[in-house]
Amino acid sequence: MHMQHLPLSIEPCSAFATPLKGDTLFGQLCWALRDRLGEHRLREMLEGYTEGRPFAVVSNALPEGCWPRPVVPPAIFGDVNPAKRKTMKKRTWLRHEDFARPVREWLCCMVENPHDACGGPASVAPSASGRRPLVERETRFRNSIDRRVGTTTDEGFAPYGTPQFHYREGTRLDCHVVYDAERIDEDALLRAMSDIGGFGFGRDATVGLGRFTVEKCASEGRADLPLSQDGATSWLTLAPVAPQGLEWKPERCWYHPFTRFGRHGNAAVHLGHPFKTPILLADTGAVLTPRNHHDALLFLGQGLGGANQPLSCSIRETVHQGYAPVIGIRIPERSGGEETPA
């Protein structure tokens, strides 16, 4: 495989009902490629997917210029004033320009409001900036309509609420795609991602939600971001990942469990059984330390599903992205009061 890194810039154009997580984006990417290139071509690209040979791995959509906070014990960030712990928990985004700092200094650099991370002065606290948050949530109320008569159903007026969220106007997001240049080219990925944004991503796309535009990141040198710290010992994941059964140091791995209750999209919703088998993953921001030293990686994890371990009763070949793009970070160990590399 000849894996390359493609950073994309996403500009939301509507509200969303489904979070822009990497595994869901990958699922819609497969449907977009099927519609554009044909099912036979998609099957060719998916060959070897569950054997460690993905044609593409997609990250979450992250605030522009930011990395997610690693899920590590507070002690790794150094001593934190107990009176400020609640405030520090809200700091979840790290500027790209602070990535080279030691991990123990990250908490002081992180911010709660990504808009502050992407242009505000580092000395201004997120709460003091006076800016609206990146994401605002709301409940939109609707009522079922009988299309035959153009009015409410036989049950009468019975409104129901659906949650959705929208990004602050002018927000841009980064999405990192790792792809095999021998099986798919950059232009095909860009066109397929643009198709997703044009038709709508996730739930309620048919009523106008999930719209965005996408382009390649090339400004300010962000297309050539450093993806590993010097002396990196661990990997920070940028999407949900399936680490089960792989070679890790369990005492040096930290993550939040995440259960994906997946369902088919596109034409597969009409096959009679759209729901997939639930999958247990490690959520974005997991820190995984390999048992043995590895060279620099662009992704880790494993492909789930396939004909041998089906996740779907409707399409037995269905796969799920258990891979995640990663960046290398150096997590120190304490030995006799001194910090040494793991």
Domain annotation covers residue 158? no
> How far apart, in whole angstroms, are the C-alpha atoms of residue 299 and residue 278?
23
Domain annotation covers residue 133? no
> How far apart, in whole angstroms, are the C-alpha atoms of residue 32 and residue 191?
9
Domain annotation covers residue 134? no
Confidence of residue 90 (pLDDT cuts 50, 70, 90): confident
> How far apart, in whole angstroms, are the C-alpha atoms of residue 249 and residue 176?
26
Domain annotation covers residue 22? yes
> How far apart, in whole angstroms, are the C-alpha atoms of residue 85 and residue 207?
41
Helix (H, G, I), strand (E, B), or coil: what is residue 169? coil
Predicted local confidence at residue 153, as pLDDT? 64
Domain annotation covers residue 24? yes
Domain annotation covers residue 130? no
Listed range (180-189, 228-237, 327-336) with the worst mean pLDDT? 327-336
Is pLDDT at 123 greater than 70 in this prediction?
no
Q: Is pLDDT larger for residue 59 or for residue 341?
A: 59
Domains in the chain, number = 1
User: How confident is the model over 224-245, as a mean pLDDT?
Assistant: 89
Domain boundaries, position 56: 3-122+166-341
Is pLDDT at 116 greater than 80 in this prediction?
no
Entry pTM: 0.86
Q: Tens digit of pLDDT for each residue in 269-324? A: 777 788 889 999 999 999 999 988 666 789 999 999 887 888 887 788 889 999 99
Q: Tens digit of pLDDT for each residue in 53-72? A: 999 999 999 999 999 999 99
Domain annotation covers residue 152? no
> How far apart, in whole angstroms, are the C-alpha atoms of residue 203 and residue 263?
11
Domain annotation covers residue 254? yes
Q: Give percent of the chain above pLDDT 70.
A: 86
Distance of CA 341 to the CA centre of its chain: 28
> How far apart, in whole angstroms, are the C-alpha atoms of residue 145 and residue 60?
35
321 phi/psi in degrees, rounded to 5: -70, 105
Predicted local confidence at residue 273, as pLDDT? 80
Strands (E), 64-115: 66-68, 93-95
